[in-house]
Amino acid sequence: MRKYQLENPSNACVFIDFVNKENPVSFSYPNKLNSFKMASYLFFVVWFKVWILTIMPIFLILAIFFGVNDIVSTMFVLFVTPLVSPLILSFIFSHNKKLILTLPKLNKFVSSSDLKRVVICSLDSKVYELPIFDNVFLEYKATEEFGKYLCKIEVIEHNFHYLKKGLFSRKITKEQNDSYWKARFIFSRIPKKGELYLEFI
């Protein structure tokens, strides 16, 4: 199996052409994030899940039952101090090429509870479209005629723009969507036998 991965593994459009033997895989970006932003998005999600949803409630319950001398300083320690950890990890990862390439696997691990599966056994056309997913993870297995006739795979963003207002200005800007994605499996003929199995986040 050949592995294709860029130095910047942020959300990318992926185009796979099985007919093109020399350059079967290509990438493009709706919004290309720098390495620090990619890492910080992931580590702040982890920080939120671990500290806000797990550890902080436990400490607050203990504080209510056993009391604290200075609730303000305790809240500062519980909330602000751990905030430094994602920033430090993001800085380390963004300055190490080997670490930054592990982000897709880490992202999948963090989002593993959102894993979905679907099995397609019949089609009415030469194209099957997975209508929406987060483009964190996509794995497929095509058997019999689904594998034989599969010629292209496209992972692309839904083509629309957000209207965003500046934090300190009234200026409204357009920003290309890079949160909602779809995958298209294109066949040379309509498969009649076999199945297409998908796992995705």
- Cα(81)–Cα(152) distance, integer angstroms: 48
Query: Are 136 and 64 contained in the same domain?
Result: no
The residue ranking higher by pLDDT, 93 or 83, is 93
Crossing angle of helices 56-66 and 71-79, in 10° steps, is 170
For the ranges 3-7, 48-52, 66-70, 118-122, the lowest mean pLDDT is seen at: 66-70
Query: Are 126 and 193 contained in the same domain?
Result: yes
145-197 residue pLDDT tens: 999 999 999 999 999 888 887 777 778 888 888 889 999 999 999 999 999 99
Mean pLDDT of 16-39: 85
Ordered DSSP codes for 141-159: EE-HHHHHHEEEEEEEE--
67-79 residue pLDDT tens: 665 555 666 666 6
Structure tokens at 131: 């209508």
Tell me if 165 sits within 8 A of 172, measured CB to CB.
Answer: yes
Per-residue pLDDT band for 15 (boundaries 50, 70, 90) equals very high
Q: How many domains does the chain have?
A: 2
CA distances from 124 to 127, 131, 154, 187 (A): 8, 16, 19, 11
Is residue 8, in this structure, part of any structural domain at all?
no
